[in-house]
């Protein structure tokens, strides 16, 4: 069969697309642009997540590591706990709460220097953004037994702490509670704290020479609301009902 003749006035066909060096350059540019966009979007997501985590740590909740047995059996050594900053910010510091607070003076020995090198920098960064629990060596965890204006003493004939004239039935306490005899009124802006493991807790009772043993409420980081780790100890940390007694909440007695 003879080939049909081409009209001399018909325009020449466009060269096929996607072939040759220029086409390959365009494909490479598209691929390079796609990777750059992916990298930029991923960077934005990661930075946003880190900023959000840091903000949550600063204003809402923070994880801590329990270093000692002073709060047994409520909290155990090596428990990872969550402290609510917003609870303290919005509702203040209240009787019966387990709280994390900064060492007010010399309650703790000087901590060892932080780990150096790249590993130390990574650990510090992860702690700052909240991916690792705080373990600075300058944080303590105790239970608030009395707040400003409360009169607290140890102990009555039954060996119980007396708060505003009311003996406390403390079923959360491990062991006896009468290691130190005292009778004080909590000064303004302070809270009187004690460990649940009374025989193994260097708490307000051992610092009566300064502000009657009170910790400044401004040094409280937050209220402990949850044991997060290990998994077999996951639990909330409620306030015992005894602290809602009207006899206690009326304030200090003469």
Summarize pLDDT for 100-113 with one digit per residue, the tens. 999 888 787 666 56
Q: Mean of the pLDDT values across residues 75-79?
A: 94
Q: Report strand pairing: 80-84 vs 166-167.
A: unpaired
Share of the chain above pLDDT 90, in %: 53
Range of lowest pLDDT (39-48, 187-196, 216-225, 226-235) = 39-48
pLDDT at position 197, please?
A: 97
pLDDT above 50: residue 84? yes
pLDDT at position 135, please?
A: 60
Does residue 251 or residue 204 have the better pLDDT?
A: 204
pLDDT at position 3, please?
A: 47
Cα–Cα separations (whole angstroms), residue 225 to 83, 94, 95, 174: 6, 13, 14, 20
The verdict on whether 174 is a catalytic residue reads no
Q: pLDDT digits over 11-33, tens only?
A: 555 555 545 555 555 555 555 56
Q: Which residue, among 190, 108, 183, has the nearest Cα to 146 in the 3D structure?
A: 190
Rounded Cα gap, residues 30 and 4, in angstroms:
41
pLDDT above 90: residue 203? yes
Q: Which residue, among 126, 123, 140, has the nearest Cα to 203 in the 3D structure?
A: 140
Average pLDDT, the chain: 81
- Band (pLDDT 50/70/90 cuts) for residue 36 is confident
Domains of the chain: 60-109+136-249 (2.10.109.10)
The SS3 of residue 203 is coil
Q: Which of 87, 142, 174, 201 is catalytic?
A: 142
First to last CA, the chain: 123
Q: pLDDT digits over 110-152, tens only?
A: 665 666 666 656 555 555 555 455 565 688 999 999 999 999 9
pLDDT at position 119, please?
A: 63
- Band (pLDDT 50/70/90 cuts) for residue 89 is confident
Q: pLDDT digits over 183-202, tens only?
A: 999 999 999 999 999 999 99
Instruction: Provide the whole-model pTM.
Output: 0.73
- Band (pLDDT 50/70/90 cuts) for residue 63 is confident
pLDDT at position 10, please?
A: 57
Cβ contact 211:233 at 8 Å: no
pLDDT above 60: residue 165? yes
Q: Which residue, among 35, 76, 97, 94, has the nearest Cα to 224 in the 3D structure?
A: 97
pLDDT at position 105, please?
A: 80
The verdict on whether 102 is a catalytic residue reads no
Largest alpha-carbon pair distance within the chain?
A: 124
């Amino acid at each position: 069969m003879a080939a049909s003749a081409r009209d001399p006035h018909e325009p020449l066909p466009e060269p096929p697309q996607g072939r040759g060096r220029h086409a390959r350059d365009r494909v490479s540019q598209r691929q390079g642009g796609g990777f750059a966009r992916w990298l930029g979007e991923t960077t934005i997501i990661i930075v946003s997540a880190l900023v959000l985590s840091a903000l949550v740590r600063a204003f809402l909740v923070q994880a801590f590591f329990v270093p000692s047995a002073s709060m047994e059996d409520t909290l155990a050594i090596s428990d990872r706990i969550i402290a609510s900053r917003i609870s303290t910010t919005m509702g203040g510091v209240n009787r019966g709460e387990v709280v994390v607070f900064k060492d007010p003076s010399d309650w703790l020995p000087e901590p060892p220097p932080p780990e150096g090198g790249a590993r130390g920098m990574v650990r510090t960064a992860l702690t700052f953004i909240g991916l690792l629990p705080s373990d600075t060596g300058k944080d303590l965890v105790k239970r608030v037994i009395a707040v400003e204006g409360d009169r607290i003493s140890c102990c009555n004939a039954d060996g119980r702490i007396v708060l505003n004239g009311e003996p406390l039935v403390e079923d959360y306490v491990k062991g006896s509670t009468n290691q130190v005899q005292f009778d004080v009124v909590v000064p303004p802006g302070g809270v009187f704290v004690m460990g649940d493991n009374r025989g193994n807790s260097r708490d307000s009772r051992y610092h009566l020479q300064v502000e009657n043993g009170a910790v400044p409420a401004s040094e409280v980081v937050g209220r402990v609301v949850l044991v997060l780790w290990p998994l077999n100890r996951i639990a909330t940390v409620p306030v015992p009902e005894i602290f809602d007694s009207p006899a206690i909440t009326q304030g200090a007695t003469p």
